[in-house]
Structure 1
Amino acid sequence: MADSNIRGGRELSAFLSALPAKLEKNIMRSALRAGAVVIRDEAKANVPVDQGLLQKSVRISSGTKRGTVTGTVKAGGRMAPHAHLVEYGTRPHKIEPKDADALAINGTPFRSVEHPGARPQPFMRPALDAKAPQAIEAIAAQIRKRLTAEGINVPAPEIV
């Protein structure tokens, strides 16, 4: 991830903390979502297939836990429970069914099968590494946009 310094960030943070708590929370949630969209779009582009449930499963969420506002990019869930296996790969392993008749390939029953494993095909972490500076810029732009909508004029921070 490229290092970037933002001038005016400390002042913006102090200003945000002086706002009413509900307004600050709403502004930060929308800002973190704007940054997460940048990462989500890159992660979807990095998925090793052109279309499908894995790509559709990449999504964002935001919320507040114990006073801390969070934004999250996730993949997987019920839609694509194999997302972590694609991201991190698997070791070679033996597959043995609980029911002796349960494992059949093309109608031929097997007691066990040796799975060769799968190489990792990361798509989430490279998205963060590649787009973190753009996500920070999107967050700052959304904060300025929301504060301007509230009638508060905030100069754009300089990225150096």
Structure 2
Amino acid sequence: MATETTLEVLGLKELDELLKTLPAKIEGNVIRGAMRAGQNVIGAAAKKTLAANGNIHTGALQKSIRVRFVRKSEKKYGWVRANLIAGNKEAWYAHLIEFGTGSFYAGHGTTSKKQPYEIRPKYRKSLFFSGLMREVIVHPGIKPQSFMRSAFDANNERAVLAFADYIRTRLPREIKKVNQ
């Protein structure tokens, strides 16, 4: 069940007018830094959520949580997009932890048996798994263990405050540089 969060931010019109007086490069740098500050709050919370759930084996999933900025080929001033990403070559399974896996795969196409997935040997009579011989291995699936969404839901207001604090501290320095 999704919950709706309402957050009111005041002063955006004034901030937009102030940013338009600055060169576009400085405007983009300030906004990118502010977005990174806000995303880092949520990323740190996601790492803590993983640790609290006991999902740390190698630490690769925690290390893979990062902020990425999307660059467009056509330069649109005033548009900056940042994504908080989990997963890389080492932690390719991030989406499986976040959303879980289904256990109802029939093994042939997209049909479903609505029961746990059974792994049967194709050519032999038994499988060697975890040091034991088995005829069938039942894979029940993985329950969703949301770490990104729960971090966002719990920390979105703190992220907006971090965004605002970054702008509050950096913008006067940039204006001073331009006016010198």
Q: Give unmatched runs, 5+ long, in structure 2.
A: 104-116
1:88 to 86, 89, 99: 99
Question: What residue in structure 1 maps to residue 48 of structure 2?
Answer: 45
In the alignment, residue 163 of structure 2 is paired with which amino acid? I
Find out whether 1:149 has 2:173 as its counterpart: yes
Which secondary structure state, in structure 2, belongs to the residue aligned with residue 73 of structure 1?
strand
Question: What residue in structure 1 maps to residue 158 of structure 2?
Answer: 134
Deviates more, 1:19-28 or 1:122-131: 19-28
Which secondary structure state, in structure 1, belongs to the residue aligned with residue 80 of structure 2?
strand
Instruction: Work out the CA distance in 2 between the residues paired with 1:105 and 1:114.
Output: 12
Q: Are the structure 2 counterparts of residues 112 and 138 from structure 1 closer, same or farther at C-alpha, using a change threshold of 3 Å? A: same
Instruction: Work out the CA distance in 2 between the residues paired with 1:121 and 1:37.
Output: 20
Instruction: Work out the CA distance in 1 between the residues paired with 2:98 and 2:10.
Output: 35
Question: What residue in structure 2 maps to residue 23 of structure 1?
Answer: 26
More strand by share: 1
Q: Are the structure 2 counterparts of residues 83 and 57 from structure 1 closer, same or farther at C-alpha, using a change threshold of 3 Å? A: same
Question: What residue in structure 2 maps to residue 12 of structure 1?
Answer: 15
Contact 1:43 1:124 in 2 (8 A): yes
Question: What residue in structure 2 maps to residue 54 of structure 1?
Answer: 61
Which secondary structure state, in structure 1, belongs to the residue aligned with residue 16 of structure 2?
helix
TM-score by length of 1: 0.79
In the alignment, residue 60 of structure 2 is paired with which amino acid? L
Find out whether 1:73 has 2:73 as its counterpart: no
In the alignment, residue 174 of structure 2 is paired with which amino acid? E
Instruction: Work out the CA distance in 2 between the residues paired with 1:34 and 1:58.
Output: 14
Identity of aligned residues (%): 39
Contact 2:26 2:174 in 1 (8 A): no
In the alignment, residue 71 of structure 2 is paired with which amino acid? T
Q: Are the structure 2 counterparts of residues 95 and 77 from structure 1 closer, same or farther at C-alpha, using a change threshold of 3 Å? A: farther
Per-residue deviation, 1:149: 1.1
Contact 1:29 1:63 in 2 (8 A): no
Q: Are the structure 2 counterparts of residues 141 and 111 from structure 1 closer, same or farther at C-alpha, using a change threshold of 3 Å? A: same
Per-residue deviation, 1:104: 3.3
Per-residue deviation, 1:95: 4.4
Root mean square deviation of aligned Cα: 2.5
Q: Which has the larger radius of gyration?
A: 2
Q: Give unmatched runs, 5+ long, in structure 1.
A: 153-160
Contact 2:35 2:82 in 1 (8 A): yes
